[in-house]
Amino acid sequence: MSRLTRRDFLRTALLGAGAVTLGSFLEACGKALATPAAATRVPAAASATVPSAGPASSPSPFPDIVVTKGGEPEALVRQAIAALGGMGRFVPKGANVIVKPNICVAYNTYEYASTTNPWVVGTLVKMAFEAGAGSVKVMDYPFAGTDETGYQTSGIKEQVEAAGGKMVNMLSYKFKTVNNPKAVVLKSPAVYEDILKADVLINVPIAKQHSSSRLTLGMKNLMGVVQDRNAMHIRLGQCIADLNALVRPQLTVVDAVRILTANGPTGGDLADVKKLDTIIASPDVVAADSYSASLFNYKPEEIDFIVIGTQMGLGRSDLQNLKIQTIPVGA
């Protein structure tokens, strides 16, 4: 009989805690920037067709997607996670948790909507510890400036450390080449070792426009765990989906407190920023991205990595069949 790994053990324990979780619910971009010409939106008639994942939503007692609107970032995050069943549904006792925000540039503060909102990240760190996490690390790989500068300028470091978490600089020697058997293109990527060893990965992208993929959301945010991201731009949509077949976050929380509507992913002009005070949360990264695309007036079938991810069985984009709960938070 084969031995259980620590991650398998924790997942098994987490399944056993499902009934307890239901009760608690009732209480409560890469180092180098690619510069292709800006993509133009294709008309609906020319869009790819997203295959339906099924006529009905999953049998889970929880929503597939939770959308919270209005109020401060911490309240938005807490109510979204509570509606999904609580952080204990995703984080077992003693788990090694990694939170992966988007800190793609080292020179913009959060107001410019090119980096994840620091209070969103800090709240997730706090909630992971409240659920009993053994450790919580936060990391990304800025492509302009140093990790430390990006962590500091974005405001994320301050909030993470205030919550008891640890900011980790991603070191080149810790990227490990791994086999990706489900991949079409990205068959042997070099992925950051800590990500591969984590018990729980919480994916926290900011929703923004992107010059080469139309949008950057949860699925594309995982490019920050791969060493050679330039090569991924050759067949970007397929490579993003391939990466998501290998690196599977347990929870995706899309920061739409402020969104970047143009000149992404770096931004730099407050005129391109729209304040929505919104959070989208789901255990299904494809579903989270499919809903988030609507913030930019896109349909899931207009975003190639969503289409391919659905075809590969990585998640669901048939929003009409998913259970979506919208919660107004602030007055």
List Cα–Cα distances, 249 to 53, 202, 258, 315, in angstroms. Answer: 19, 6, 23, 12
Q: How far apart are CA 217 and CA 281, in angstroms?
A: 12
Q: For residue 319, how many other CB atoms are within 10 A of its CB?
A: 17
pLDDT of residue 144: 67
Q: Which domains are assigned to the chain?
A: 6-328 (3.40.50.11440)
- Name the residue among 220, 226, 149 with its Cα closest to residue 186: 226
Polymer length of the chain: 331
Q: For residue 219, how many other CB atoms are within 10 A of its CB?
A: 30
Cα angle 160-132-246, degrees, rounded to a multiple of 5: 75
Residue by residue, pLDDT tens for the chain (331 residues) are 433 444 444 444 444 444 333 333 333 343 333 333 333 333 333 334 343 343 344 578 999 999 999 999 999 999 999 999 999 999 999 999 999 999 987 788 999 999 999 999 999 999 999 999 999 999 998 876 688 899 999 999 999 999 999 999 999 999 999 999 999 999 999 999 999 999 999 999 999 998 888 999 999 999 999 998 888 888 999 999 999 999 999 999 999 999 999 997 888 899 999 999 999 999 999 999 999 999 999 999 999 999 999 999 999 999 999 999 999 997 5
pLDDT of residue 266: 86
pLDDT of residue 143: 72
pLDDT of residue 51: 39
Q: How far apart are CA 289 and CA 62, in angstroms?
A: 18
- DSSP symbols for 272-306: GEEEEEEEEEES-HHHHHHHHHGGGT--GGGSHHH
Contact 140, 102 (CB under 8 A): yes
Residue 299 burial class via C-beta count within 10 angstroms: exposed 0-12, middle 13-18, buried 19 and up: middle
pLDDT of residue 6: 46
Q: How far apart are CA 26 and CA 98, in angstroms?
A: 27
- In the block, residue with structure tokens 């302009």: 144
315 beta partners = none
Contact 274, 261 (CB under 8 A): yes
Cα angle 175-181-186, degrees, rounded to a multiple of 5: 55
Q: How far apart are CA 249 and CA 194, in angstroms?
A: 13
Q: How far apart are CA 314 and CA 184, in angstroms?
A: 14
268 beta partners = none
Contact 92, 14 (CB under 8 A): yes
For 55, the token pair is 């006529």
- In the block, residue with structure tokens 């500091």: 152
Residue 107 burial class via C-beta count within 10 angstroms: exposed 0-12, middle 13-18, buried 19 and up: middle
Q: For residue 185, how many other CB atoms are within 10 A of its CB?
A: 17
pLDDT of residue 331: 58
- In the block, residue with structure tokens 């919270």: 68
pLDDT of residue 48: 41
